Every structure is written in structure tokens, then in C-alpha cells.
A and B are shown apart, each in its own frame.
Chain A
């Protein structure tokens, strides 16, 4: 029974990591761009939920309104970032990391100045309070909801990439940018759309996180390092790798934490990722590319 509840804890943590990392994997895979402001897009999503809660009175529906709105807010922020800064820097992927870090700092301070330094509370709708009892095992509804949301996002993204013309274009650009360009795909437009999608996913993740923790200016920073580890361990170019990596990291964290302490668990997870990269330097799954880099 303890094992079962820990399994669920790991699965749940994995789904949180997956939500945080999914958009990151998309933008990183597409353009090799490390977006350090991804965590702040999550924060923006979370504050969106806070604002929506103030406008839409019924807590029952405000979450459902906040999810698409969070997607749009995160996405627009990402689009703005891409259009103003990142598109200048595709030749220098490492430098984007620092530039977006600067953006992250500014966004955090903006949140602090607009919403105040203290954390704010987003109350969960009543239909998500409490737990579902299955065979003596209590599964918190909020965690089930996040699990479902993560699955929905993965399914939606997979369908989009597999079954739509846009998805074909994105995949083509990921696999070989030059060839895609010469076959008439505008990589410029594709990049923008990808960035919008990836950042929008961050917004959704942010809304979901309000169910678990506090909403504050530094919300994103607590997830960003873990999310990056997921992306690195999962490899770029395919969602499959991200999913497996997120769930494995979540499971590892949960079980290490159960048998040792939360601090030691974090360190062990890091060691495991480094060791894993020794075996597979390109991550779990990596798209075959013809580039040398």
C-alpha cells in the first residue's frame, strides 16, 4: 500500500515535470534554443489563473477558463520573445540561454511589482477538493486532474505533429532546417508557431501548478532546473523521450525521497542523469539529423 501510494506520487510528480518540460522540449528540439524564461512563462500562466479567479466568480469554472487563457498568455509572451530577441540569435544558441535568463529576471521583477512580493492564493474548484479512494488508496483529485491534463497535452501535441500539415512542417524543420527551407517551408513562420505552442504549454503548466503550490514571482525557478534535466535526459526531437524521461525522473525522485530524504533524492537524481548521459550522450531518443553539431 505504501508502495502503491509512492508509485502514484512518482507518477504524479512525473506528470508535473512532463507538463513543465513538454513546451521546453518542443522549442529546444526545434531550434536548439534554451529558453530560461520558460519558467517565467509558467509563472505568467499561474498569475493568469489568479486574475481569472478574481474576474470569474465561480471557482468551479474559473480553472477551466484559466487553462486556455493561460495557454494564450504564455504563447503570446513566447511569440513576443521570439520576434524581438530570439530570432536574431539562431546562430548563437548558447547566447540565447543568457538573454532569456535576463528576460526571466525582468519578468520576475515585473510580477513582484505588479502583484506584490507576497504569494497569492488560487483556490481549487470544489470538484477537485479531496481524494478519490481506490482500494484504501487515497488519490488526491488535483493530482489526478494534472495527470489527465498532462496526458491530454501529450495526445494533442502528438496528433498535431503527426496528423496536420503544420506538424509535418515542424518535423521537417527539426530534422533538417536547410532542406525544409529549400522545399518551400518557411522556417521563419514555423519557428514562430512552434515557439507559440511551446510557450503556451508553459502557460498551461503554470495554471495547473496553482493546484499544488503557491503562486509567486519565483514559481518558475523551482521547476526550471528539473525541467531542463528532463529535456536533456529525454533527448530532442521526439515527444516519446520527454515523456519517458519525465516519468522516470518523477519516479526516481519519489522513491529516492521515500527511502532517503528529499535533499539527498535531488542529488541522486542529478547523479543518475549524468551517469545516464555517459551511456547515451544524446538522451533517450534523438532525432537523426545530418548535421555534424
Chain B
């Protein structure tokens, strides 16, 4: 019974957390023209994306680089050769994938 209570409480907390997370993830990247790419992220309610996981993958989906958004909600990486994608991963339903071909100066 106690266990059930705890489970219910946990679910309630998760549900609340999900509500607090009811905003749109936003991410944009641009080519710095020096072999590096800068990405910026955030949420439509203005909350920070600091700590959000970032992945750079090649054309076959293999992870080439990974990291996280810094305190300014920014992530910089070395531009890979060939086609690539960038994934801003703030959890289920809060991910943004950007095609490297759309990342311009």
C-alpha cells in the first residue's frame, strides 16, 4: 500500500513536471565560416536550455560528437565532413533535429 502511495506520488510529481515543461523547444544553428558551427537553444517561454544534450550525427545516424548547451544556452562544435544532423535533445517531445544542409553562415 505504502509502495502504491509512493508510486502515485511519483506519478503526480512527474505529471506536474510535465505541465511545467509545456513549452516548445527551439534551436537554431549557424556556420561560423571558420570550420565551426554554433547552435543556440531555448524554450518558447524564455526558459534556459542550459544542460540540454546535443548530438552531432553523420548521414547514417552515427553520433560523431556529443555535448550539452552551456550556461548561455549555446553549443559549439567542429563542422563534420559530409552530411550531418544536429539533435537538440531535451527529452521526449522536446527534441529538435536540424539538417546540416540547412545550417548556413
Bind each other: no
A-contacting residues of B (Cβ < 8 Å)? none
